[in-house]
Amino acid sequence: MKLPPALERVVASLARLPGVGEKTATRFAFHILGQSDTWTSELAHAVGELHSAVQHCERCHNLSEGPLCVVCNDSTRDPRRVCVTEGIQDLIAIERAGEFDGRYHVLHGVLSPVKGIGPDQLRIDTLIKRLEPEGIEEVIVATNVDVEGEATALLLQRLLEKRGVTVTRIATGVPMGGELEYLDQVTLARALRDRRPI
Q: How many CB atoms lie within 10 A of CB 28?
A: 17
Q: Is 152 in the site for Zn ion (CB under 5 A)?
A: no
Helix residue spans in 60-166 (DSSP H): 88-97, 125-134, 147-161
CB of 170 to Zn ion, least distance (A): 20
User: What is the tally of helices (H) and strands (E) in the chain?
Assistant: 8, 7
Among 14, 25, 60, 107, binds Zn ion (CB under 5 A): 60
CB of 37 to Zn ion, least distance (A): 38
Answer yes or no: are the C-beta atoms of 126 and 58 closer than 8 Å.
no
| DSSP sequence for 173-197 | T--TTB-GGGS-HHHHHHHHHT-EE
The edge-to-edge listing of strands for the beta sheet with 138-141 is 102-106, 78-85, 138-141, 166-169, 196-197
Answer yes or no: are the C-beta atoms of 109 and 151 closer than 8 Å.
no
Q: How many CA atoms lie within 13 A of 19 on its CB side?
A: 0
Give the nearer residue to Zn ion in terms of CB position, either 57 or 127. 57
**Quick one: which segment of 11-19, 59-67, 174-182, 184-192 binds Zn ion (CB under 5 A)?**
59-67
Among 10, 25, 29, 59, binds Zn ion (CB under 5 A): 59
Give the nearer residue to Zn ion in terms of CB position, either 62 or 144. 62
Indicate the DSSP class of residue 68: S
Q: Is 127 in the site for Zn ion (CB under 5 A)?
A: no
CB of 164 to Zn ion, least distance (A): 23
Q: Is 106 in the site for Zn ion (CB under 5 A)?
A: no
Q: Is 57 in the site for Zn ion (CB under 5 A)?
A: yes
Q: Is 69 in the site for Zn ion (CB under 5 A)?
A: yes
CB of 57 to Zn ion, least distance (A): 3
**Quick one: which segment of 15-23, 51-59, 111-119, 131-139 binds Zn ion (CB under 5 A)?**
51-59
Q: What is the binding site for Zn ion (CB under 5 A)?
A: 57, 59-60, 62, 69, 72
